Structure 1
């Protein structure tokens, strides 16, 4: 059976910082596997070659691209996170918006009693919503 996981490609060697931020933000989250470049043959030493991690039980993959690209993350692809409580929402919103960009500030937009959309400091886009 095929397995589907979102893949996040970071540039500039920030993948470990992103992992640290996400694991400290979301409960039930962990690194499942992590491989770093051991020498500078293909990428700077310490860059993440491939990591598999889970956030709230959802598996993701990520890496540090050793190649600088003219593209990065876009809000048109985002991770939608649904919360059971306002407290959980506030905690995650505060962590992800710190150093990032608020695309839609927390509020009632009709489709959700409390919703926000942010790009975190790494450019990854998150839609946050309190379940109705």
Structure 2
């Protein structure tokens, strides 16, 4: 048995988001991408299913064909333990650009430094410097 985080994008953002996330982590990589072809359910060239890896953890994503009345919410977030001040600052700045700061980088008493953001795609990230 295995559990994998699955991200469903609604505005044809899956590939852009995946490539952005992969660019942020030294070992980030796109594992596989299957795109919709002509005459298939989704818009040609959009992501039917993709797999990518960040810090040894695998994720899946799609461009949803049906439109839903829901999207991402901060009640589920990706939690990253960072190795350095430079790393947490770089990730926070990149993820917050075009997104929304939920908790600015600061010491909140439970870690050296912590920040929480929704990125420009709506995915929520908690960044921690233990």
Given the two structures, how large is their TM-score scaled by the length of structure 1? 0.96
Partner of 2:45, secondary structure, is coil
Taking the aligned partners of 2:13 and 2:39, their CA distance within structure 1 comes to: 16
Partners of 2:7 and 2:51 lie apart in 1 by 10
Specify the SS of the correspondent of 2:92: helix
TM-score (norm 2): 0.97
- Separation in structure 1 between the aligned mates of residue 113 and residue 44 of structure 2, nearest angstrom: 43
Q: Does 1:107 align with 2:71?
A: no
CA shift for structure 1 position 87: 0.6
1:20 correspondence with 2:19: yes
| Number of the residue aligned with 1:98 | 97
Q: Quote the offset at 1:108 in angstroms.
A: 0.5
Q: Shift of residue 33 of structure 1?
A: 1.0
**Contact 2:12 / 2:46 at 8 angstroms: preserved in 1?**
yes
1:123 maps to 122
Structure 1 residue runs without a partner (length 5+): none
Structure 1 moving runs of 4+ over 6 Å: none
Match of 2:59 in 1: 60
Deviation at 1:40, TM superposition (A): 4.0
SS in 2 for 1:84: coil
Cα distance between partner residues in 2 of 1:123 and 1:54: 19
Name the CA distance, whole Å, in 1 between partners of 2:65 and 2:76.
Answer: 22
Task: Kindly report the root-mean-square deviation, in angstroms, between the aligned alpha carbons of the 2 structures.
Answer: 0.8
* Structure 2 spans left out of the alignment, 5+ residues: none
